[in-house]
Structure 1
Amino acid sequence: MKKLKFPTAQTILIIIAGLVAMLTWFVPSGKYDSLSYSKSENTFTQTSLSKTTTLTASQETLDVLEIKIPLQKFTSGDIWKPISIPNTYKQVEAKPQGIFAFIKSPIKGIIEGADIIFLVLFIGGIIGVINYTNAFDAGIAWLAKTLKGYEYVLIILVTTLIAIGGTTFGLAEETIAFYPILIPIFLAAKYDAMVPLASIYIGSSIGTMCSTTNPFSSIIASDAAGINWTTGISGRFIMLGLGTLICILYIIRYAQRVKKDPAKSIIYDQKEEIEQHFGNATNSDLTLTTRLRLILFVFISCFIVMIYGVSQMEWWFLEMTVVFFIGAIAIGIIGQIKEHIFVDLFVKGAGDLLGVAIIIGIARGITILMNDGQISDTILFYASNATTGMHKGLFINAMLYIYGGLSFFIPSSSGMAVLTMPIMSPLADGVGIGRELIVNAYQYGMGIFAFINPTGLILASLAIVKVGYNKWLKFVMPLVIILTLFTMAALTISVYL
């Protein structure tokens, strides 16, 4: 009898999509009314199932609707998405998603996720072009010599820098670009591919989990909760520092064990396959010429420009994709690559990441199934009612788990904030704690579950590294348990301070 293999990321997501479609047959459909602000008209629009009402954009309107958010948060553009209106939930006619809706959901998801999908494909294109020049191989060989004996510095630097990106401007989807670059460097340092995967993904996860100035998480959630985003920021900085330290020590401990004995690697059976795919460059004969240095400079500059644009100029996936496209052309010119060869390299490189793009689309399709089945608001309604009458210590920890569970259905941090904060944050008033603690529970709950959330980014990341979800769970679950206990202790202490 052949040994059963763990299913691929695509199959896992298709199974989840099927289960979600079945869920729409059993969970009652329901909706909250929503409120959106029109800057051009300076009016609010209240949308319910039966009608749409235009309201005066005033604080009085917000007070009548029991929305405890200052008007200025809307007029300044801090809240740019429709928010849920408290106490407006109502059950509606069921919209169960049948077999045809299930089959269409991945296609709908690919169409809806076209922005990030094209970014991934163009990143694959530029990787294909730069690999042809041998610039990566030469740079990795040079770095391996430079860091000899101090390879662990790579783990500290990568995890810390990506965590900083996560906490400041929500570096998450963009990290997909880093895997093809950093994995060969870590392999040359005699680590396995799990180490760069962990450094990048866990760095991003702990950073976004402990967001401080992240506009897509802490700022929009605080605004939607009706508090200043700086309220509670000192506690988040402490969580960021301690959480990042725990993650770095965890990764280093595993990395050093693998370095001493490669057979201790969780993915040891894939060692040759992964090294062959990523080209474990340790060839000391490769020389980092001026031309190759210039190519690497252009490539690294793409990331610097991308990060600056996202954090300072409100860029999104379209602009990021253009940066990598221009970078690929510039590298082709510097590398004196003929036009027909350049096109072949770019297309082949994009094709290498097509599987990742499809995973992103299928995951997006799951969200579409839930929205079309109108069960997301129902789950939110029952989750908010579940905490009624709880002691504040139990309440805040229940919120942690509720947000972790909700993030399976709503993996978007900004989407979660505007949907849930107007409903959840007033619950803090009833138990006598600050609303910033609800923001913390939202961030920490989503953040911890993000380490393993199959509807988030992890399956797409694993597909790039060619590591199975089961092996990732084996690696990361002890860390998830440690962080969960640490976070519960921190939240419990915070409600009594």
Structure 2
Amino acid sequence: MRLRLPNTFILLFAILAMIALASWLVPGGQYDTHLVDGRQLIDPASFHYIASKPQGPVALMMAPIKGFVEAALIIGFVLIVGGAFAVLQKTAAVDAMIGAVVRAHSRSPLVRAAVIPVFITLFSLGGATFGMAEEAIPFILIFVPLALALGYDSIVGVSIPFVGSQVGFAAAFINPFNVGVAQGIAGIPLFSGMGYRLIVWAVATAVTVLFMMWYAARIKRHPQSSPTWALDQEKRKESVPGGVELVAMSGRHGAVLALFAASLGVMVLGVVRYQWYIEEIGALFLTMAILIGIVGRLNADTFVAAFLQGARDLVTTALVIALARGTVILARDAHIIDTMLHALTPLVQSASPIIAAQKMFVIQSVINFFIHSGTGQAALTMPIMAPLADLVGVSRQTAVLAFQLGELSTPMIPTSGITVGVLALARIPWLTWARWMVPLQLIYLVMALALLAPPVLMHWQ
């Protein structure tokens, strides 16, 4: 039986209501803070109780609106980025790049051998840079037929775009939707710590590539061992492999891709050298969208329609951010945030800060089952996890990484709309997929726990 949970909005509003109720039951509390390197840090030994301020029905209904106001910068940034990438997609340059590689595999044994590692790396790079997630869904229609044509199975066809992009999203280094939002809320420089995040992304991507190459080779040798063997036989009968139309690569597409790559380079330079923040990066993405529209020869109406559609697609994300921020405002106004931090500290605290960081990862993984919007989860959890990191001797940079790695469970959880949508399009039952994913999820678990140790040892800031 399929597990059904309330959607994110109902869940967040329920959390709002519970916080309002808790404000009548939980005593107020406060930590003293002190300024360190321009940042307010909690003094872990200074907790003391103060008078609480219970929040009634009026405060409950005002919290989402206040959330919009306080999160306006992040919300505007998300909408602009969504519009910019919709313009990029409208030029069909990304589709053309995929199509060029797909056609090359039929002409070169070397390309055939490189299909899995190259494509997984490309999709992972998409997740790590511009937050590719739902955008991977249409590629199922290309990669499932391609995988069947190469003698693999539907699981390989789904895993290349879906698992690839999700791993990149979780191990991102400049993804504005999880790294950018989480760091902004945590009060640390935007896209700082990129060096170690690049290592994390490379390790996570390499682990995924090696696992998929091992699995694909096994299916190649013993096709009947595939969990989707019977389903794939039906697919082979009813469809012609490679029947999906692929966009031809043109000089215009190449120019668009070059402009996109150059924009990412400028963003990295601006963040690292000039300490750009959300305003500057938002302006860069808006400029990129305009230039891509010109180079891609989109007329004004098409450009505006694509940009608005991209922004419209992220209105849900914007509302989630506002509602999640509202939960923080309600708890803050009730003076119970520090009390909750004080109660959470023993659950996370450990004699070893490494174990504390790993406990934060486990908590984030559990939360990801219920709230799998990277942006929404960051908005909801980082106001708690960032100061909690101060209390348990873990850097806020490491707390952000623990939050990110918690999203490694997304490809398996049945509450994720992306997961359910991808599997429905590929016609793979969730239980079949989940049983196949268990070994890979265990590998991700061990990998994440290991990757959280070095940042603690090197006092990563």
| 3-state SS of paired residue (1:82) | strand
CA distance in 1, matches of 2:243, 2:279: 33
**Alignment partner, residue 75 of structure 2:** 117
Equivalent in the alignment of 2:117: 153
Q: Partner of 2:96 in structure 1?
A: 138
Secondary structure of 2:46 counterpart: coil
1:355–1:463 contact (8 Å) kept in structure 2: no
Query: What SS does the aligned partner of 1:94 have?
Result: coil
Deviations 1:100-139 (A, max 9, x none): 3333333333333333322332233234434444434333
Contact 1:198 1:251 in 2 (8 A): no
TM-score (norm 2): 0.64
The residue aligned with 2:58 is 100
Tell me the SS of whatever aligns to 1:189.
Answer: helix
**In the alignment, which of 143, 153, 158 is matched to residue 189 of structure 1?**
143
Tell me if structure 1 keeps the 8 A contact 2:91–2:253. yes
**Are 1:348 and 2:309 matched, yes or no?**
yes
**2:25 aligned counterpart, secondary structure:** coil
Unaligned runs of 5+ in 2: 107-111, 145-155, 174-178, 236-241, 368-375, 424-429, 457-461
Cα contact 1:140–1:281 (8 A) shared by 2: no
Q: CA RMSD in A?
A: 5.3
Q: Could you say which structure has the higher helix fraction? A: 2
Rounded to whole Å, the distance in 2 between the matches of 1:467 and 1:85 is: 46
Q: Which residue in the other structure is 1:401 paired with?
A: 359
Identical positions, percent? 25
C-alpha distance in structure 2 between counterparts of 1:402 and 1:421, whole Å? 9
**Structure 1 residue 217, shift from structure 2 partner:** 9.8
Equivalent residue number for residue 22 of structure 1 = 21
Shift, 1:351, TM fit: 1.6
Q: Does 1:198 align with 2:163?
A: yes
How many residues get paired? 395
- Label 1:354 to 1:254 Cα distance change in 2 as closer, same or farther (>3 A): farther
Q: Alpha-carbon deviations, 1:85-109, whole Å to 9, x = none? A: 2322111212333333333333333
Pairwise CA distance, 1:410: 9.2
Amino acid at match of 1:368: I
How far apart, in 2, do the equivalents of 1:320 and 1:118 lie?
11
Matches within 5 A, 1:354-393: 354-385=315-346, 392=351
Query: 1:378 Cα shift?
Result: 1.6
Among residues 252, 256, 269, which one is paired with 1:291 in the alignment?
Answer: 252
| 1:423 matched residue in structure 2 | 391
Deviation, structure 1 residue 142: 1.3
Q: Structure 1 CA distance, aligned partners of 2:452 and 2:298?
A: 56
Residues 255-301 of structure 1: CA distance to partner in whole angstroms, max 9, x if unpaired?
88999799849xx9xx9xxxxxxxx99424x4322223222322333
* Contact map agreement 1:141 1:281 (CA 8 A) in 2: no
Residue pair 1:140, 1:184 contacting (<8 A) in 2 also: no
TM-score, normalised by the number of residues in structure 1: 0.60
The answer as to 2:17 corresponding to 1:10 is no
| Closer, same or farther: CA 333–403 of 1 in aligned 2, 3 Å | closer
What is the CA–CA distance in structure 1 between the aligned matches of 2:291 and 2:257, rounded to whole Å? 11
Q: Distance in 2 between matches of 1:193 and 1:402?
A: 30
Match of 2:45 among 87, 92, 97: 87
CA distance in structure 1 between the partners assigned to 2:263 and 2:206 by the alignment: 29
Closer/same/farther in 2, CA of residues 381 and 129 from structure 1, 3 Å limit: closer
